[in-house]
Structure 1
């Protein structure tokens, strides 16, 4: 018989206690203010929400090969006061790149916000867009998702 006793189990989850509900609610509201997901964006694009502009922050060659329908190409490396001057100030911009392994959308979001634009970042970028079964457009034209029939969100 082993005389070494096993210490009681401790929770790794609760090692750092969760915040009060009001703090959690504020943090989640802030998170939703900074990001959107592909299902919500696809719904808004299908409904032709005119206040949103989707920006593909990847290279122009990547945009031509396949992009979110309705997105415009504005690579983050080309963002400057001059290139941003053509953008309307009364829109909400949603930036995306390849996915979680790419920070192009983060750079684009930072550059737009620093220039005074209202902006969100798309979670998971083009990778999550495709994973969720949404179509792509290709070539130089933005394309459109207006009036598209979308699959139901699984969340």
Structure 2
């Protein structure tokens, strides 16, 4: 058995942000943040977002300290939603959130996927109503692409994991 060890990155060439032809390349044209600024940014980002694998793991473990909200239309909900999620379309949040959601319980909201900012609008609406909220990155699209079961109007369904988004021979990606 061989063991791979991490390789230390070695800078080559000219000054930071330049390529061999000395023209700035887009990766470092704007220098990286300081480590302290980067740590603050990434910690803040995790306060606002979660991913489908972490939500799935929490729900599978029986977590009762959060509620998952699907902010899509009834037609979209019927097409497939996260098992155990609450259906609360963004357009109804101001009217219905207080009757459906406990303000003491953090909310994880999702919509279609990364090409849709519906979950962001829903999270904003809930935050303005006083809820602690996170957005589930990837939405229902990545929930399905990672091979997790959905509930549809016809009952439970599951598709195989997409090898471009999730490991097919492991329980999780290890991140």
Normalised TM-score (structure 2): 0.74
Residue 56 (structure 2) aligns with: 42
Q: Output the CA distance in 2 between the equivalents of 1:125 and 1:35.
A: 11
Q: How big is the alpha-carbon RMSD for the aligned residues of Structure 1 and Structure 2?
A: 2.1
8 A contact 2:120–2:135 mirrored in 1? yes
In structure 2, the CA distance between the partners of 1:121 and 1:128, relative to structure 1 (3 Å rule), is same
Deviation at 1:104, TM superposition (A): 1.7
Q: How does 1:3-152 map to 2 (within 5 A)?
A: 7-80=21-94, 82-86=95-99, 87-139=101-153, 152=171
Deviations 1:83-142 (A, max 9, x none): 11122011110111111222221111010000110000010101111111111012399x
8 A contact 2:77–2:152 mirrored in 1? yes
Structure 1 gaps of 5+ residues are 1-5, 142-150
Normalised TM-score (structure 1): 0.83
Q: Secondary structure at the match of 1:85?
A: helix
Q: Output the CA distance in 1 between the equivalents of 2:147 and 2:118.
A: 22
Structure 2 gaps of 5+ residues are 1-19, 156-169
Q: Output the CA distance in 1 between the equivalents of 2:51 and 2:21.
A: 43
In structure 2, the CA distance between the partners of 1:74 and 1:140, relative to structure 1 (3 Å rule), is farther
